[in-house]
Amino acid sequence: MMHKYANEIKAWADGAEIEFNISKKGEPDKWMVIKQPQWYSGIEYRIKKTELKQYLYMEVGECKFTSLHSEEPNMVVTFDSHTHKLIKVELL
């Protein structure tokens, strides 16, 4: 049987920050970073959420341009320059 927090434990071992829920029952969730989680079954843990920063770059080609490079994961979105319709999305 897999541990309830197997994914979180692996992410923490790989360097991710872990948060635990400090809210009381019936209150909205409030999360706080914990440096040394104990992985108690009565506490709710999660991998800390990070904001995805996006940057827009454009390369104009003969019939298409490539745009939208972002961090984690890197993506390339290709549009048709005549119809402006999406052609494909690639993860790098």
Cα gap 11→16, rounded to integer Å: 5
pLDDT in tens, the chain (92 residues): 888 999 999 999 999 999 999 998 889 999 999 999 999 988 999 999 876 665 555 554 444 444 455 444 566 667 777 776 777 777 66
How much is the pLDDT for 65? 41
Whether residue 51 contacts residue 68, with contact meaning beta carbons closer than 8 Å, is answered with: no
- In whole angstroms, what is the distance from residue 25 CA to residue 30 CA? 11
**pTM of the complete model:** 0.53
What pLDDT, on a 0 to 100 scale, did the predictor assign at position 72? Answer: 47
- Rounded Cα distance, 70 and 90, in Å: 12
